[in-house]
Amino acid sequence: MSSCDGRVVVITGAGGGIGRAEAVLFAQEGARVVVNDVNADGAHAVVEEVEALGGEAVANTDDISDWDGAGRLVQTALESFGALDTLVTNAGILRDRMFVNMTIEDWDAVMRVHLRGTFAPTKHAVAYWREQSKAGEQRIARIVNTSSPSGIFGNVGQANYGAAKAGIAAFTQILGEELWRYGILSNAIAPSALTQMTAGLTGYVDRLNELEERTGWKNPGGPENIVALVVWLGSPHATVNGRVFNVRAGHVSVAEGWGVGPAAEKEGPWSVEEIDAVVPGLLAAAAPQVDAYNRPKTYGA
């Protein structure tokens, strides 16, 4: 048996890039897939690709940041395949600007697609799974959200995108704490891959070119190189919950979020003068802030 035999999987933003690669591999692992994308041509093309490989898939072109559209997406799975087992929230957009040039429209568009577009389909899916659990038919349900290195480590020019992706990481952890009692496990990936969204990020493209030259590994930025983790997290094999994973070609790691580092304590409140004396020592003892490649970051101070 394959890892996802008989499972029904909904993937948002699956008309290209990472979502397309997820849809193909889920189908190869035995899942029936709902391919969601507002780009109808892309969604139907991926369905045709899955069917050409012998898999089962249907297209859905609803806007997942629209409440009713998200409900129709989940209903598509139920009407087409009679169930829903895994939800992968992958849809996203970029509106990159340095913060001084960022508009409210840039901010709102990214928040709507990433945060509302993660919340809405998840809410509809969880309502179905909760009903199943209460009826004594608890499913082995899985949520796999898509955060980003920008949300975990930060990235210049992406105050909107990074904030949204950090929100998705926190959302994932909180769902993990709340939903396990219904048989639902929630995890996320922070992927690095070369897609339509990242094609303009020259620094990332340069790193991928360097990796290809150094190792001879062809197309190291290809989304197909990172989606095995998503399929595993969306399968019954995964019993992990509330975690975020960094993933890129040939690399997977557990993203370790905010934690309690070096500390100082005293009886009663601190004065400004005491804080001035204590905090520099705490910072000197703290682990450095690093980027997705574990390189120390600098903030000009």
Q: What pLDDT is stored for residue 76 in this prediction?
A: 98
The answer, yes or no, to whether residue 160 has pLDDT greater than 90, is yes
* Local confidence band at 166 (pLDDT 50, 70, 90 cut-offs): very high
Instruction: Kindly state the tokens that stand for 229.
Output: 């983790």
Please tell me which residue in 165, 186, 192, 204 is annotated as part of the active site.
165
Strands 251-254 and 244-248: antiparallel
Q: What pLDDT is stored for residue 157 in this prediction?
A: 93
pLDDT tens-digit readout, 22-31: 999 999 999 9
Average pLDDT over residues 259-267: 94
Q: Is the alpha carbon torsion for 128, 40, 38, 168 positive or negative?
A: positive
The domain total for the chain is 1
Residue 148 annotated to the active site: yes
* Local confidence band at 221 (pLDDT 50, 70, 90 cut-offs): confident
pTM for this one?
0.91
Q: What pLDDT is stored for residue 289 in this prediction?
A: 87
Average pLDDT over residues 232-240: 97
Question: Contact, 11 vs 35, CB < 8 A?
Answer: yes
* Local confidence band at 6 (pLDDT 50, 70, 90 cut-offs): very high
Average pLDDT over residues 241-261: 91
Nearest Cα neighbor of 239 from 94, 119, 141, 131 is 141
pLDDT tens-digit readout, 102-146: 999 999 999 999 999 999 999 999 999 999 999 999 999 999 999
Q: Is residue 281 part of a domain?
A: no
The answer, yes or no, to whether residue 283 has pLDDT greater than 80, is yes
- Tokens 């999987």: give the residue: 9
- Tokens 């993933």: give the residue: 247
Q: Is residue 91 part of a domain?
A: yes
Instruction: Kindly state the tokens that stand for 244.
Output: 């975020």
Instruction: Kindly state the tokens that stand for 157.
Output: 């020019």
Q: What pLDDT is stored for residue 46 in this prediction?
A: 98
Average pLDDT over residues 191-215: 63
Work out the percent of the chain whose per-residue pLDDT is above 70.
90
The answer, yes or no, to whether residue 203 has pLDDT greater than 60, is no
Please tell me which residue in 65, 147, 150, 161 is annotated as part of the active site.
161
Q: What pLDDT is stored for residue 213 in this prediction?
A: 66
Please tell me which residue in 3, 148, 150, 235 is annotated as part of the active site.
148
Supply the CATH number for residue 246's domain: 3.40.50.720
* Local confidence band at 257 (pLDDT 50, 70, 90 cut-offs): confident
Average pLDDT over residues 213-241: 87
Q: What pLDDT is stored for residue 211 in this prediction?
A: 63
Q: Is residue 282 part of a domain?
A: no
Report the alpha-carbon distance of residue 93 to residue 184 in Å, rounded: 27
Average pLDDT over residues 5-29: 97
Helix (H) or strand (E) holding 190: strand 184-191
The better pLDDT of the pair 192, 268 is held by 268
Query: What mean pLDDT value characterizes the chain?
Result: 92
300 CB contacts (<8 Å, ≥6 apart)? none
Q: Is residue 214 part of a domain?
A: yes
Report the alpha-carbon distance of residue 108 to residue 70 in Å, rounded: 19
Q: What pLDDT is stored for residue 2 in this prediction?
A: 86
Q: Is residue 3 part of a domain?
A: no
Q: Is residue 32 part of a domain?
A: yes
The better pLDDT of the pair 228, 155 is held by 228
Report the alpha-carbon distance of residue 190 to residue 117 in Å, rounded: 17
Q: Is residue 184 part of a domain?
A: yes
Report the alpha-carbon distance of residue 281 to residue 261 in Å, rounded: 12
Backbone angles phi and psi of 158, in degrees to 5: -130, 45
* Local confidence band at 293 (pLDDT 50, 70, 90 cut-offs): confident
Q: Is residue 88 part of a domain?
A: yes
The answer, yes or no, to whether residue 204 has pLDDT greater than 80, is no
Average pLDDT over residues 246-274: 92
Domain that holds residue 235: 8-254
The better pLDDT of the pair 207, 78 is held by 78
